[in-house]
Structure 1
């Protein structure tokens, strides 16, 4: 009986050993097969080889969400890995730090604004010297070595805003300008374009220019202060996406909707709301979705060695209440989760 049990145990051990060896050989084959991609897998890897970074002026901004939306759509089409990273709120030092960090990580391409010539031009030049292409969007850095610019002609945008105000007020208005930044190049261009458009209008006077730091709250505070100091002001021009919104809140607080003209920038949901109500009379429309979309497409072409225009201006126009709704909706509407 004892001898029989020994044979049973011996046989079981042999079976277990054979099974273990077979399993080991099978697993080894699977690992080998897994690490030997076919032609299709190799092509898919190559199509996803590019790593781009999009650095906006600020993350919590519906305008930049539209830029992100367009960039992601193009990234999906081209098989690009896209990162969207930037300051929570506009901050030049943080913005530059993020650009430098992206360059240090040796990404394939960087898309960003050229907010101020003094700070951004040297940074962009250093990135280019590392053989990383830079495409500026929304705001150009024309004196830098940037590879291409895709976005609004900001001087022209300010100019058509001035012409629209002159037309809508019949050339008679005491105007206050609230700008997102007194130093950012795109904001300065929008102010200068506006000034040049109205300079020959004898009935239009620019009473004050104040800075909002691209916030609704400060735009409202500056509008309130202007109306207290200069009650004769009967028209406002806001040069950033949030300025007209802050101005509109104050105008309604003062119950001056019928006697005060407002022209702003962009098509944020609140802007459209005030446009429908008639508190805001006009707004300059940009194409942030197209900026993001075309920037990614251009960056792919640049890396592949294809020719890309140095400057590509996206469409800019002035709209009023009667022009609503805007189409295509993808260019102007942000859906929040």
Structure 2
């Protein structure tokens, strides 16, 4: 309880600093992410800050904020609640817990434009936001499945996911399973098309890198003949030293492709992992683009201009053979 209160206090302090740093005459365009400790979201921040640098004096400031920890779902909801109370011109949210965030939006019924970025609300709550800017997460999962099928035609596969209630992660998992199974709406692989998820899988990391690496290590130990491991997000790889230690124990199997690792995201440490043979494919999102484009989308919504409900930012497929030029420029 004390830890949760401390995190909430820190998040509130960061929020106050962020609002104070905005130019007094500017209207605030807020981007709220799942956690400030996640390097993926720091790329969104870089996009937000580039937008600020290019749009000084135009009446708006992009504010990047979120809870200190990526597993603080309640903290993220509280920050959005605080922003709505303090007053911002528009808000873009990456909901860690989609139902919880939807409940808040229903209660507050904000009159300002609300959009989602990176992660969306669940389909039944989509009317609560004006637009979604980010990855086609189901397609991202499909591409993970397609890359795995290039190496294996069946076997045992463990999926590593993030937060249980994150809609974007659930969509990726669905894309992976449907592609491997060759059928739609597969909740778990139990032999479809030759694929099975072993006991204990899927794994939920709560967006924690240390937990993600421990889960990988434990899974490799418990399943010495595991055929594939799919990191639906890059959590384990966000801690490169720990990830290297975990994969050191299975490097012979990775080199022979007896064990195949497919992972989400393409941050620099992840590209290095691919080059080192610690994964066989990285399916990358474009978080910088999300942070850079979100403010313009919010301004259009404020001005009553047309904004497409779905704004996809694209994907990058990085493989050993194209690793030096696979990322969008």
- Give the TM-score, by structure 1 length: 0.77
Instruction: State the 1:176 CA deviation.
Output: 1.2
Q: 1:120 to 1:326 in 2, by over 3 A?
A: farther
Root-mean-square deviation (CA, aligned residues, Å) is 2.2
SS at match of 1:88: coil
Gaps of 5+ in 1: 1-44, 332-337
Question: How many angstroms apart in 2 are the aligned matches of 1:278 and 1:227?
Answer: 17
Secondary structure of 2:78's aligned partner: helix
Work out the number of aligned pairs and report it. Answer: 283
- Cα distance between partner residues in 2 of 1:190 and 1:81: 32
Deviates more, 1:96-105 or 1:221-230: 221-230
Which protein has the larger Cα radius of gyration, Structure 1 or Structure 2?
A: 1
- Which aligned pairs between 1:1-337 and structure 2 lie closer than 5 A? 49-78=26-55, 79=58, 80-90=60-70, 91-127=72-108, 129-141=109-121, 142=123, 143-144=125-126, 145-169=128-152, 171-200=153-182, 202-207=193-198, 208-244=201-237, 249-255=245-251, 256-258=253-255, 259-326=258-325
Displacement of 1:187 in angstroms is 1.1
How many angstroms apart in 2 are the aligned matches of 1:306 and 1:279?
Answer: 46
How far, CA to CA, are the matches of 2:195 and 2:208 in structure 1? 27
Separation in structure 1 between the aligned mates of residue 234 and residue 208 of structure 2, nearest angstrom: 9
User: Which ranges of structure 2 fall in alignment gaps of 5 or more residues?
Assistant: 1-22, 183-191
Q: Does the 8 Å CA contact 1:286/1:315 hold for their aligned counterparts?
A: yes
For 1:82 and 1:310, the matched residues in 2 are separated by: 21
Displacement, 1:248? 5.3
Q: Could you tell me how far apart the structure 1 residues matched to 2:327 and 2:141 are?
A: 23
The alpha-carbon distance between structure 1 residues 75 and 327, as it changes in their structure 2 partners (threshold 3 A), is farther
- Going from structure 1 to structure 2, the CA distance change for 1:198 and 1:242 (only over 3 Å counts) comes to same
**TM-score under structure 2 length normalisation:** 0.79
Instruction: Name which of structure 1's ranges 74-83 and 139-148 shifts more when overlaid on structure 2.
Output: 74-83
**Secondary structure at the residue paired with 1:147?**
coil
Residues 62-102 of structure 1, C-alpha deviations (whole Å, 9 max, x = no match): 21111111122223333321222211111100001110111
Q: Is the 8 A contact 1:72 1:82 kept in 2?
A: yes
Task: Answer whether contact 1:160 1:317 (CA < 8 A) is retained.
Answer: no
Residue 10 of structure 2 corresponds to none
